Amino acid sequence: MTRGFYIGRFQPFHNGHRSMVEQIAADVDELVLGIGSADDSHTVRNPFTAGERIMMITKSLVDYDLVTYAVPIEDLERNSVWVSHVQSMSPDFDVAYSNNPLVIQLFREADIDIRQSPMFNREVLEGSEVRERMINDGDWESLVPDAVVEVVDEIDGLERIQMVSDSDSNGE
Ligand SMILES: Nc1ncnc2c1ncn2[C@@H]1O[C@H](COP(=O)(O)OP(=O)(O)OP(=O)(O)O)[C@@H](O)[C@H]1O
Ligand SMILES: NC(=O)c1ccc[n+]([C@@H]2O[C@H](COP(=O)(O)O)[C@@H](O)[C@H]2O)c1
């Protein structure tokens, strides 16, 4: 039995993340999705809470033939102990997945098997592009799983991100 660990902020969970999960699913029996920056929300970069991101991920992956666990991981001031912090919060895992250079470096230094994946349609499948479209009433729905559209609707997420974006541009 192999268990993987995939870390990201998932603000929001989009079709690039979903493609990465599909690719990882070929390698592992179970997958932990680490919800990074779990302590942050209500900002333009991190509009959604850890709980809201758990809903997005759980509902998006419900039909997959893969056991998944979504685990919130708060940020720490000290990069040097971050991997131990991750391990203390997550079910044990055999292999980690990320395309983030700092994350890759930290896992490598801890002698943990860390794998990257190709970027899928990165011109548009990027969290910042999805958030930009949410703020400007663009077509963000086509970039995320249907379940994410439903969660954003349930939590009035568009109103939230537009409000925090306005506060940001007013220097509040
Ligand atoms: N289109 C994609 N294809 C493959 N991997 C992706 C894609 N988008 C993001 N990832 C990877 O998923 C992980 C989590 O990404 P993250 O939650 O930061 O999303 P992001 O799209 O990079 O968002 P942001 O623009 O908010 O930084 C990272 O390792 C990132 O490189
Ligand atoms: N010192 C730390 O707290 C630390 C170090 C490396 C990565 N992280 C987190 O891991 C996550 C990585 O995800 P992204 O690839 O989406 O950036 C982010 O939430 C980032 O803040 C935290």
pLDDT digits (tens, 9 = 90+) for 80-99: 999 999 999 999 999 999 99
Long-range CB contact pairs, 76-80, < 8 A, 24+: 79/106
Higher-confidence residue of 14 and 168: namely: 14
- Can you tell me the mean pLDDT for 1-6? 98
The pLDDT assigned to 171 comes to: 62
ipTM: 0.96
- Coil, helix or strand for 117? coil
CB of residue 37 inside a 6 A radius of ligand 2? yes
The pLDDT assigned to 170 comes to: 72
CATH numeric code, 3-169? 3.40.50.620
The pLDDT assigned to 117 comes to: 87
Task: Give the model confidence (pLDDT) of 14-56 as tens digits.
Answer: 999 999 999 999 999 999 999 999 999 999 999 999 999 999 9
The pLDDT assigned to 27 comes to: 95
Q: Whose CA is closest to 35, among 62, 10, 4, 60?
A: 10
The pLDDT assigned to 109 comes to: 98
Q: How far is the CA of 101 from the centre of ligand 1 (A)?
A: 12
Cα R_g (the chain), whole angstroms: 16
- Non-local (6+) Cβ contacts of 155 within 8 A are 48, 52
Higher-confidence residue of 117 and 172: namely: 117
Task: Give the model confidence (pLDDT) of 98-150 as tens digits.
Answer: 999 999 999 999 999 999 988 999 999 999 999 999 999 999 999 999 999 99
Give the ligand at the shortest distance from the Cα of 37: 2
Q: How far is the CA of 77 from the centre of ligand 1 (A)?
A: 22
Q: How far is the CA of 122 from the centre of ligand 1 (A)?
A: 9
**For residue 172, what pLDDT band results from cuts at 50, 70 and 90?**
low
Best mutation site among 35, 74, 102 for ligand 2 pocket (most ligand atoms within 8 Å of CB): 102
